[in-house]
Structure 1
Amino acid sequence: MSAGLAIETEALGKRFRGRDAVADVALAVPAGSVFGFLGPNGSGKTTTIRMLLGLISPTSGSASLLGSAMPDRAAAVLPRVGALVEGPGFAGYLSGAANLARLDSADPVADPRTRKRRIGEALDRVGLSAASSKRVKAYSLGMKQRLGIANALLRPRDLLVLDEPTNGLDPQGTREVRTLVRSLADGGTTVFVSSHLLAEIEQMCTHAAVMRTGRLVAQGTLDELRGAAPDDRLHLATPDAERAIAALGAAGLTATQAGAEVVAPLAGRAIEDLVPALVAAGVRIRGIRAAEASLEDRFVALTGEGFDVAN
């Protein structure tokens, strides 16, 4: 396995009932990064995560966490890994603090002498100190998500794997999780975040990968995934959309109508060089601007799908 990678897979695959749920996945997650794992529902993200953590065995290929082969070296490497996968599961009749104490006591390498302090610190980091004595059955979904993250943070971790960590959180809670992830990364922890919320990934992550129907279709830094310079697209507000599309086509640009605007990839062209051609073609210009391609644009270009697709 390569040096400098917190997670690496080679041709990783999993078959269920003769069907490939995940096939030929080659992830490369740099140590110290905040890595977003993107894909529509049913694209194989959670299955991949379960293989990475040794919860299920791969049908083919290999995986490594923190330089150790999984699942062969799971006992040695997993104490250095915190995880929240497929939502937290807690005893509803126990308080948040009691649940964490129960889980920590089951950890063979956790120090019972520091348990109370570590639980208090973990609850404080996720904003649950005031609710620590409340029974978990009274927790909202967002509070349970926070408690799951607190459990992953009971001890220092070199790698944190979070599957949909902002599920059920209100905007304030989402911002707090985003801040927490950044602080962990600043402290040297690699954070691997599975999500379908593109806006959150753009604000939180340094790198990302995109899954589609069980296969990895792209990965890299966010700028590499966008695959464009900051002035990638022309946005033109005009009542003469058809005329503008024709004029831009004559200039070598493929334009389309998007709502009240005409949009075209600039492909290195400067807007000021296009305006005279538009005016000469009789296009009335109400507004014109250059905009950076978003991660959502790149995702749609890669998969042709939205995030409600589950097949």
Structure 2
Amino acid sequence: MTKTIDAAGGALAASPAEGAAIVTRGLTKRFRGGQLAVDHLDLTVPRGAVFGFLGPNGSGKTTTIRMLLGLVSPTSGTSSILGAESPGRALTRVGALVEGPAFYPYLSGAANLRRFDAADPGADPRTVDRRVGEALDRVGLTAAARKRYRAYSLGMRQRLAIAATLLGPRELLVLDEPTNGLDPQGTREVRNLIKDVAADGTTVFVSSHLLAEVEQMCTHIGVMRTGRLVAEGPLAELRSVKVPRLRLETPDVATAAAALASFGLTDIRSGPGELSAELGDALPERVTEALVREGIAVRGLHVLRPTLEDVFVNLTGEGFDVEA
């Protein structure tokens, strides 16, 4: 169920927490000096979802992740991961990448993963070679396993960081800006990897400020703005908050506009050789059929589905940098 937030900050509709991978209630963090980084966050991440935690830089995303992982103590409120109220009880089932990868530049990718694995008290040293090999294969770095980390591209470094989160069985991956600073090829590699991991049943929580990336890989989203959650729910449902539009290319603009109005379409806007209107519940194929029946020439007809950026602007009245 979709949850949007009213102007006073109250939930208009809430998703049930049953079966959730992450739940927060009133989670708040105020730093010294009075800075309010996260403000009474009520968040529910369903198990099995690829959840996009979206918001501009400084909106409270990383602070929230640090509280979830026990790296920062909340000022107030509660949170649970995989049903455990204490992060320490769940972290063996969680893989996390926070604020970019950090590895030894003079060691190979495989050697870095072995050192990373050795720091895990629950890891079995007898199976480390097998698990490192499987993790490298999972992210497509088997051929580069012996290459030194400093020779890795940015995309390879991000994939190695994700491999480190997959050294053991994980029910939840928490990835903070996993495509930050990558070129288009590296971004596509990481995006496809996240989809593959999720396809195996792992819940993936992805923090990002890139709307286009979230739209391509996530099933659910939560939108943060200045420390507050302004929307949460399945991406398809959030898109339905804004009605799709019909764009019609025709030489009979005036006649077509009158016809669309008679069909019940609203917010009709016209321009040279084309017009658009809110589609509402009308079926585009029925609209096309009716226009032709009225003798109106139809050169092209397109349904414009709302983008994630449209949804964000519709919910908040403002946007943020969607490219950088």
- Give TM class, smaller chain: 0.7 to 0.9
Q: 1:150 aligns with which of 136, 143, 163?
A: 163
Distance in 2 between the 1:176 and 1:155 partners?
21
Distance in 2 between the 1:20 and 1:58 partners?
11
| Pairwise CA distance, 1:260 | 9.0
**Structure 1 match to 2:321:** 308
| Pairwise CA distance, 1:146 | 0.9
Does residue 58 (structure 1) correspond to residue 74 (structure 2)? The answer is yes
Distance in 2 between the 1:88 and 1:134 partners?
17
**1:143-172, Cα deviation, whole Å (9 max, x unpaired):** 211111010001110111111223344445
RMSD: 3.3
Contact 1:8 1:27 in 2 (8 A): yes
The 5 Å alignment of 1:16-95 reads 16=31, 17-69=33-85, 73-95=86-108
Does residue 233 (structure 1) correspond to residue 250 (structure 2)? The answer is no
Contact 2:154 2:186 in 1 (8 A): no
The 5 Å alignment of 1:64-213 reads 64-69=80-85, 73-213=86-226
**Structure 2 match to 1:6:** 21
| Pairwise CA distance, 1:130 | 1.8
Q: Secondary structure of the equivalent of 1:145?
A: helix
Q: 2:279 aligns with which of 266, 284, 288?
A: 266
Distance in 1 between the 2:301 and 2:309 partners?
22
Contact 1:41 1:308 in 2 (8 A): no
**1:69-117, Cα deviation, whole Å (9 max, x unpaired):** 1xxx232211110011111111212221111111111111111011111
Is the deviation greater in 175-184 or in 218-227?
175-184
State the identity as a percent.
62
Is the deviation greater in 235-244 or in 209-218?
235-244
TM-score, normalised on structure 1? 0.84
Give 5+ residue unaligned stretches, structure 2.
1-15
TM-score, normalised on structure 2? 0.81
| Pairwise CA distance, 1:269 | 3.7
Does residue 216 (structure 1) correspond to residue 237 (structure 2)? The answer is no
Distance in 2 between the 1:269 and 1:20 partners?
45
Give 5+ residue unaligned stretches, structure 1.
none
Q: Secondary structure of the equivalent of 1:254?
A: strand
Residue 149 of structure 1 aligns with an amino acid whose one-letter code is: I
| Pairwise CA distance, 1:188 | 2.4
Residue 161 of structure 1 aligns with an amino acid whose one-letter code is: V
Contact 2:96 2:175 in 1 (8 A): yes
Distance in 1 between the 2:315 and 2:273 partners?
25
**1:232-270, Cα deviation, whole Å (9 max, x unpaired):** 211234689899889978966224579996443222245
| Pairwise CA distance, 1:11 | 1.2
Distance in 2 between the 1:197 and 1:263 partners?
28
Contact 2:241 2:311 in 1 (8 A): no
